[in-house]
Amino acid sequence: MHFKTYAFLAIFVTILVTVVTAAQISVAIENFSFKSQTVKIRINDSVQWTNKDRAGHTATSDTGVWDSGMLATGASFSRTFTQRGSFPYHCAPHPGMKGTVIVE
Ligand SMILES: *[C@@H]1O[C@H](CO)[C@@H](O)[C@H](O)[C@H]1NC(C)=O
Ligand SMILES: *[C@@H]1O[C@H](CO)[C@@H](O)[C@H](O)[C@H]1NC(C)=O
Ligand SMILES: [Cu+2]
């Protein structure tokens, strides 16, 4: 094969690996709590919250980084984390519901 073919393949594989390695982590909102309460993810992974309660809930960043808005029963919200750090969040109508996303 020509060098250009190898170069093309290398770029293609790199893109493929980058896409494949970004994971989606599921957090259930159940019984008025986030499960898991703390999730550790990698940069560019996304977290998807799904409300499995009868009551409406939100996943609202404590520091204003994101806000899911009200999630009805069965509704989901997903966010990709592109910055390292520790991101605490809560549920707006139920401030006792707390969680943390740690991006490392
Ligand atoms: C829901 O949460 C309450 C209070 O934390 C606890 O007593 C109860 O066992 C939980 N129920 C389920 C099904 O997890
Ligand atoms: C995260 O994604 C952005 C945009 O696709 C990319 O430029 C960056 O290199 C990625 N970072 C990591 C650590 O994968
Ligand atoms: Cu709530």
Query: Which residue, judged by its Cα, is nearest atom 6 of ligand 2?
Result: 44
The string of pLDDT tens digits covering residues 29-63 is 999 999 999 999 999 999 999 999 999 999 999 99
Q: Which of 21, 43, 44 to mutate to test the pocket of ligand 2 (most atoms within 8 A of CB)?
A: 44
- Residue 44, ligand 2, Cβ within 6 A: yes
3-state secondary structure of 90: strand
Q: Is the pTM of this model over 0.85?
A: no
The string of pLDDT tens digits covering residues 70-99 is 999 999 999 999 999 999 999 999 999 999
CATH 2.60.40.420, applies to 22-103: yes
As a whole number of angstroms, the distance between CA 93 and CA 104 comes to 29
Residues whose CB falls within 8 Å of the CB of residue 78, separated by 6 or more in sequence, listed in order? 24, 46, 47, 48, 49
Taking the centre of ligand 1 as the mean of its atom positions, its distance from the CA of residue 67, in whole angstroms, is 26
- Residue 43, ligand 2, Cβ within 6 A: yes
Spell out the domain ranges in the chain. Answer: 22-103
